[in-house]
Structure 1
Amino acid sequence: MSNEDLHAHHDDTRWAFGTGFTDPLHGMDQAVPDGVDAGALAACCLALGDDALVSAQRLAEWCTRAPELEEELALANIGLDLLGQARLLYARTGRADGTGRGEDAYAYFRDVADFRNVRLAELPNGDFAFTITRLLVLSTWRLALFEALTTAPDPVLAAIAAKSVKELAYHRRYAAEWTIRLGDGTTESRRRVEVALNTVGPWLQELLTDRTAAPLGAAVAHRTRSELAEVLRSAGVDDAQIGLHNAAPVAALAGSGRDGVHTEHLAPLLAELQSVARAHPSATW
């Protein structure tokens, strides 16, 4: 299955809003190929889908709050891209894990401990500099990972990755341009970027040691480090502030988001996200 196949079934430009079709993988051959570990495939898709869903929800919180209308629209559109990626990945999860569950089951009817997102995605937005810094880190890492996944042995995951790469390249470019603008701007904007880097830094290790798509981890970590370092140098920021070369693990919370261990911030985020679906579980619109 190719990236073109994925696009061919979804020519409704409104699809990220949930209109136009029910199953985002409708019409595709969704059988898990011989030689592919279905359990590992499902775990990979679920984790990456959770990263996207939680990140999208955080970005949605900037609606009506961004510093300018242009940035509000940009952040909202990035969130919609991630929401679309989550839909595809959840749909693939439901076929790979053998349950046949739809995307809503994964997004709305799981509890905190069942989510497998990296914890950086769930932290509160903070100020604009923090949101941009987090977006830079997550999109740089996710782009490196998804480019590697374009050659995944599962053709559906490979097609999802190929489609997502184009979106993630824009996400990274947007965040990089703003990081450079803030780092090379006023004394205050530079200070805010440095504070954001210090906040993000301890959570970077969870990304750099992620084995969701093993054995891609080492190559993805190397590319993530080098590309982040390049952006931070252009912004005039010392990359030691984020610990790119010796990222320290988070001391405040053992375990990993991949194991269902989360910060106190995920529960209220999910409560808001899931409230309508749980209040009306059989509703359609």
Structure 2
Amino acid sequence: MSVHWVGTGRAAAPGLRRLVIAGHEVVVWSRDLDAAEDAVGDLTQRLREYDAGALAEEVQDGDVVVSMLPADRHAELATLALQRAAHFVCPGHLTPALRALHARAQIKDARVLAECGFAPGIDHLLAQGLVRDWRQAPDHDPDAVLDVMSLSGLPGARPDAGATRLRRGFEDLAVGDPRDAAWQATLPLRASPRVDVVPAGDALRMVEDYSIDPTWRLRSAVRGRMVLPDPGAAAICVSLAAERAGATLWHRSAVLEAGDARAALVSVPVSLAAEAALGRKVPAGVGIAPADPHLAAAWLEVIAPLVRRLETVDHLR
């Protein structure tokens, strides 16, 4: 079985090289063969000029198609993969067009995995871990009031301050009523503990993405993008706090801080997702970065050497 890696932009090389070095059969598809040569030419010459028709002819049952193309091309390539009973992986958001492929993927026993990059991607792994920790905590109280926050930032990222659905107060806001505003946050980051944050994404999806029990009393959910002062930095901060009778019962944050590692933090998780699809380590159908604790731990073990800091902070200690 082969991995068909489509796209050799700036973020592609580390994950692509990792797959080749690991011994996988990798075919590289690119509109810029010089870029493909620069990325991985010292390891393989299985380089193809990208053409959708040629790709469709070469993809076989059980292969994986990886899309590192712009987000608006992901659904097209996922559909192509499923036509050949192949799997599909991308770092981009799980769009309605990709979600619509779920039944077809299940019939084909294929995996369509999105949100397997930096953020979305690594942030899911960290948040899932916090939710598991809270669920298993000795002082867990299913009636506690919860506040959840997920923030990320990459070099050069300047999110749209008009993005919708940043923050939801589930007890005092009607569903669908957004609170959109930029603000400053004080976070357990060593490099920049106080950062500007702007809206990014739909916070309501955190309930599903992070396996939050729908019966829990979720007071607020925040999803945003940090504007980091260091142009070479990358960071994720995911937190979960539980309150009972006005007192904080449990409060932890999962923190990742990195320097110049943008490409690796995007494409190495993509390569891990490709391996998970090849090995059928995740269920057939459409999904995102894995919730399985053993698989998530294995991914984080690979990611940890790429960053300066990856740890969980207990705010009550």
TM range (shorter): under 0.3
More helix by share: 1
For the pair shown, the structure with the greater C-alpha radius of gyration is 2
TM-score where L is the length of structure 1? 0.25
More strand by share: 2
